[in-house]
Amino acid sequence: MDLFTIGDSYKIFYGTSVIYLVIACYFILNRIIYNERSNRTSYSYVVLRVCHFSKIEALFFLIYSILNVVGYDFNLVPWRYFVYIVLSCTFVICFFNGITPFVMFVIIRRQMHNISIFKGMLNRFALLVFSCFVISFTILVPLILLQLDSVALDTYDYLFRLTVFLAFLQMVLFFFAYRDSALFIRSLLKRSFFTGFSCTVISTIFVYLPTIIWPLNLALILPLSFIIQVAYIFVVHILSQAKAVSRDFLTGMNNRNELYRYLTHMFEKGDDLNSTLHLIFIDVNKFKSINDTYGHSQGDKALIALSDALKKSAFSRNCFLSRYAGDEFVVVMRETPEQSVENFISNLLENIRMTNESRVNPFTLSVSIGEVAYSDDYTNLEEFIEAADRDMYEHKSVSEF
């Protein structure tokens, strides 16, 4: 049974250094989870889910590494029960290597399109392949362990080939998520401190390299993809934390500085400036009265309630939300036939109405809204912002509800 000879596929990683590496990765993942929970960003969905998945992988890689070191140092390899233990751990690692493409497929598409795994033909087909892989793997492992001492092991050969085929089919499905994965990386690196060349290198490492080395993980039980996963999570976390400096501490939205950086980039580039670009100004009506009547803590809750309504109303893409100053919020959005300014405002007012009807807060939240579309009349971003602000105040009395 050469395929499952203990340690043969792990000799190049043999040694306590692997144990230290996996332990270090585990503590890094733990720290990232702690930071993301206390300081949520728009990338937290990806970071937290990949972290939890990688932590489980780290535990089994740690056990596998320790077993290999102990097995060689104390000559436990010939011991039958030791073989069963190592094989069981090996199969678990093979399982995680097999489902990693599916997990990344689901997480990335959920982040980019905000759709569940049960929606869409591609997602459903991916789920079907994943289910078949899990079922065949669950049947295969007991067959191998039960017939470990048997000479005739052809009984599970077909099932083994089917399992490997399904694992590779999952990898093929991951190709369909490449575009989403590349878009996610680009959105993460956009306006970051990395240079253009560094962004290209990072995109190549995290989007394409895992595909090249993935067969080695499945066939040789190597932790290469796991190490890249941890590095990927670490980079995403560092960048998201860097962007958190541009967040409003109360609402978690982009602050005024980030809004100006975002618009300045558009005005400098020029190509993105057209009539589909809209600026929406939103102001809380009688905000001073809420503070004076119910206290500043309730005023903070009013701002948080409005920010929550804005986040619920925002489209998954083409929406930039920010707290401009005090009780003023600004939304920059790219209008499309499916995602119009009118729909956004309608959704916002409906979400605010539902917040008021819930009676969670003692105050009644109402807002004034003004919006402008970009035109060549605006020579700089200050004029663009002032036009939206002016429109909001002009409609302040009629936009209350």
pLDDT tens profile 197-225: 666 676 667 666 766 776 666 666 667 77
Q: Which residues of the chain have pLDDT under 50?
A: 1-10, 12, 14, 151-153, 155, 398-401
Q: Which among 223, 228, 231 is positioned nearest to 210, based on CA atoms?
A: 228
Q: What is the pTM of this model?
A: 0.56
pLDDT tens profile 76-112: 666 777 777 877 787 788 788 777 777 877 777 777 6
- CA dist 128 and 277 (Å) reads 41
- pLDDT computed for residue 400 by the predictor: 47
CB atoms within 10 A of CB 263: 22
Residues 6+ apart with CB under 8 A from 34: none
- pLDDT computed for residue 5 by the predictor: 42
Q: Residue 40 — φ and ψ, nearest 5°? A: -70, 140
CB atoms within 10 A of CB 177: 22
- CA dist 318 and 332 (Å) reads 8
- CA dist 263 and 240 (Å) reads 20
- pLDDT computed for residue 398 by the predictor: 46
- pLDDT computed for residue 151 by the predictor: 45
Beta 319-325 vs 367-373: how paired, if at all?
Answer: unpaired
- CA dist 117 and 107 (Å) reads 9
Q: Residue 262 — φ and ψ, nearest 5°? A: -65, -45
| CATH of segment(s) 256-394 | 3.30.70.270
- pLDDT computed for residue 4 by the predictor: 41
- pLDDT computed for residue 208 by the predictor: 67
- Which sequence spans correspond to the domains of the chain? 2-244, 256-394
